[in-house]
Amino acid sequence: MEIALSLAVAFILCIGVAHAEAVPEAMEFLIPRDQLATQDRNPFMLAGRRMDESQPRWNEFEGALAAFPDTSSCLLPEERGKDVQNLLAFDWKAMRTFTEIDICVWRIATTLDDLGLMRDWLAAQGFSGSYNTQSCDNAERAPNAKDSSDFCGIDGVMSIEEVEAKTSIYDSMSFFTRWFWRGISRRAALTVRFDHRLHVRDVSFGIITE
């Protein structure tokens, strides 16, 4: 009886330790509402330039920027009203275009402003592997660097089937676009690029046809 009780206590303690070890990782993605990135504080940028009316691709991004003006708008509805919001609760089903994914992942990345956390976030969302991006492994932040060009990037790959199940991209396509998509698409890659100061410079979601 005593042996059985001891084993039961030990088992419960092991579960508690395992749970305690997992919590700090999740805690890193719980962000107070007033610390979430917004278009005013952290404007969406493309190739290091703020996306606004002066940019030639403004018409492509205008609607999505209005639909997702801040990080909270990119999260699941039940998360948005909370004082502390979980960045892992990304509303993938609300994503209908590549542009919307670019903007919302930018919101997440600029909220975290941390290369390691962003890599963990990509993995938690189901992205794996790497696709032809200059690695950020062993990269160090240079706070006084004047060069704002691409320094390195982190990325992840997802199958087209997973993208179709996870997002609303396929459902939002015309018949012809669906036919084209199914004919050329193999995988999708999500890339987050950083400058020499290791601040987010660019986010890009696209398909891989090879």
Per-residue pLDDT of the chain (210 residues; tens, 9 = 90+): 444 434 343 433 343 433 333 323 478 999 999 999 999 999 999 988 999 999 999 999 999 999 999 999 999 999 999 999 999 999 999 999 999 999 999 999 999 999 889 999 999 999 997 655 566 766 666 666 565 555 888 889 999 899 999 999 988 888 878 877 778 878 899 999 998 888 899 999 998 886
Task: Provide the pLDDT for residue 144.
Answer: 61
Of 122, 103, 98, the closest CA to residue 181 belongs to: 98
Integer Cα distance of 180 and 136 in angstroms:
34
How high is the pLDDT of residue 210? 66
Q: In sequence order, which residues have a C-beta less than 8 Å from that of residue 53 and are 6 or more positions away?
A: none
Q: How far apart are CA 5 and CA 38, in angstroms?
A: 53
pLDDT score recorded for residue 23: 28
